[in-house]
Amino acid sequence: MRITTLFVFATLFAAVSANAQINNTVLQMGKDGLPAGNSSPEGAASDLIHAHMLHDAYLFNMACVPPYGGFKVQDMYLKYIKRMTLVLKRDAKLKTKAPDDIQSIDTVYAARHLTKAGPASYAYSALNDRDVEFVDIGVTQIDGRKTLRRVLVIQTSDGKWYAHPLPTLSPLLSDGLRDETISTQDFREAYNLKK
């Protein structure tokens, strides 16, 4: 499996709750049986992937981390969000797919903390966030290739999880993200859910 550092958002499927065994989290699930929403890191990451897959600009904006940081970072981040929103709206109207677009999500792996402590420390001390993790998501592209998408996720001070669509914008938040080993634990195992 090839790792692609693409950060994608998920579908506005109706949320169904399933009791989870991690930190008393209630895991929201979409109609497709995958995590959804901001109550878990896996949900935020899945929403990002689904948003790209479905060309859903609204879901993209709901899944993305709120603007943060100093003026320069906020300005670049907001410009990126605006640009991606326009691209998703355009692609939704054209109904065309590129060979490397996502056809389906095969596996959502359990969220993991980065090996380096710097990103979480920076998020807590400088941005007032609670946590920084990442989620690997196995996908099948339109061209049939199976790849792995790695999504940086951030828990904000209100306890909600959001995906960061452009982690390279914040080297202190994403330090070591590309160097992590490929995940192996399915989210269902981490939350003690039956397949």
pLDDT in tens, 42-58: 999 999 999 999 999 99
Nearest one of 46, 130, 2 to 12, comparing CA atoms: 46
Q: Could you read off the pLDDT of 147-178 as tens digits, one per residue?
A: 999 999 999 999 999 999 999 998 988 999 99
Q: What was the pLDDT predicted at 117?
A: 86
Please state, rounded to an integer, the average pLDDT across all residues of the chain. 84
Q: Could you read off the pLDDT of 121-132 as tens digits, one per residue?
A: 888 888 878 899
Q: Say whether pLDDT at 184 is over 80.
A: yes
Q: Say whether pLDDT at 13 is over 50.
A: no
Q: Could you read off the pLDDT of 65-86 as tens digits, one per residue?
A: 999 888 899 999 999 999 999 9
Backbone angles phi, psi at 77, to 5 degrees: -65, -50
Q: What was the pLDDT predicted at 25?
A: 59
Q: What was the pLDDT predicted at 24?
A: 52
Q: What was the pLDDT predicted at 128?
A: 76
Q: 56-59, long-range: CB within 8 Å, 24+ apart, which pairs?
A: 56/9, 56/11, 56/12, 56/88, 56/92, 57/84, 57/85, 57/86, 57/88, 57/89, 57/92, 58/12, 59/9, 59/10, 59/11, 59/12
Q: Say whether pLDDT at 19 is over 50.
A: no
